[in-house]
Amino acid sequence: MMTKHNAPFSSELQSKIDLLKARRTPVQLGSVHFDSPLLLAPMSSIGTAPYRLLMEDLGAGGTVSELISCHGINYKNIRTHEMLKIDPLEKNTGLQLFGESPEAMAQAAKVAEEFGPKFIDINMGCPVKKVVGTGAGSSLLKDTSTLGHFFAEIKKSIQIPLSIKIRTGWDHDSVNAMEVIHIAREEGIEFVAVHGRTRSQQYTGNANWQLLEQLGAKAPLDIIGNGDLHTVNFVREKMKTTNCSALMLGRGPLRNPFLFLEPYINESEDLFFTPEDHFEVMQKLVEYTAGYAHSEHTQLISVRKHLIWMAAGYNNVSSFRDLVFKTPELSETMKISEEFFSTQKDKRKRLQDHDSFMTSGHG
């Protein structure tokens, strides 16, 4: 089930969005065009079609789906095939697949291509045990001797561009991102997103931006830098100074849905997004999820987590969170949320630059 053409945001919010979107500069990575160099990272159970569509509305230059199992695709699992669906309103979306077998990945990529993505992306960065334990995700970084064949099998099965998302290496003693990138180039991979942590770091510590900048300057492919891009100040700084061709935002937009736009606000400009703007974003997400959820309960579960993330930086979040999780109906949840956002005395969201967030992982 796909979304319908829903009503736009209020004129006040839409005018702010349009103003900042107009300041973006498109970017070309390989043969793929993106509307800006700020892209949405793939996140497990988060990067669904409704959320991707919302992020494009709010300035993301392109998006990548949540990681999708090649075996689930090949076994014709209904739920997995639903994850491949791309909304007709989406413009620049890639589908990310994971698996350990080149033959299975090639077969799945061919199926995924039929759903109309701009590109297929190979997950080589997921650090979670259930993925790594099968030999997929960041486990693929451990033995580079097999990667040439792995890439070649997938590449020859599809007509659209192929990209990869990797980490800097398996652990501190095996940082091999540049080696992987050179192999990828030889096999026709068009661009590479690099999360600036090793697999052993999971989502703890800091992303190694010194290494990401070295890769951006010296790698033979376009590099997308990823890691710790959670705040407007850091994103804005990197946009001005990075050697990377583009930046990939993951966890940050969950708490600040305007993170793809705010770096384009001039620092002397009195322009900001209000609590009421955030509630409008949640209303839009509810509209979009209605087109995909199997039931109101499923929709409510999805909306709840986004409400809690989006409330971060405002006052009385803990009591709001408790109330949201105690409310069993979506309509009542939205009434509670409207009251929460509309009664905020401080009209600017206040997020701490170095808050840890979702360090247990998201795929």
DSSP string, 186-216: HTT--EEEEESS-GGGTT-S---HHHHHHHH
Rounded CA Rg of the chain? 20
Q: Which of 126, 194, 261, 265 is catalytic?
A: 126
User: d(Cα 129, Cα 122) in Å, to the nearest integer?
Assistant: 18
Q: Tell me how crowded residue 204 is: count the other CB atoms within 10 A of its CB.
A: 11
Beta strand 63-64 with 162-167 is: unpaired
| Cα–Cα distance measured from residue 341 to residue 323, given in angstroms and rounded to the nearest whole number | 14
CA distances from 237 to 47, 234, 251, 267, 274 (A): 26, 5, 18, 12, 23
Rounded distance, CA 32 to CA 213, Å?
A: 22
3-state secondary structure at position 164: strand
Check if the beta carbon of residue 65 is closer than 8 Å to that of residue 91. no
Separation between Cα atoms, residue 174 and residue 56, nearest integer Å: 36
Given a contact cutoff of 8 angstroms between Cβ atoms, the answer to whether 271 and 13 are in contact is no
Q: Are 83 and 45 spatial neighbours (Cβ–Cβ below 8 Å)? A: no
In this structure, what are the phi and psi dihedrals at residue 227, rounded to the nearest 5 degrees? 135, 120
Q: At what angle do helices 177-186 and 147-155 cross, to 10 degrees?
A: 40
Q: What type of residue is 199?
A: R
Q: Is 70 a catalytic residue?
A: no
Q: What is the DSSP letter of 94?
A: E
User: Are 263 and 276 in contact, with CB atoms under 8 Å apart?
Assistant: no
127, 169 Cβ separation under 8 angstroms: no
Give the distance between the most distant pair of CA atoms in the chain.
58
Active-site positions? 126
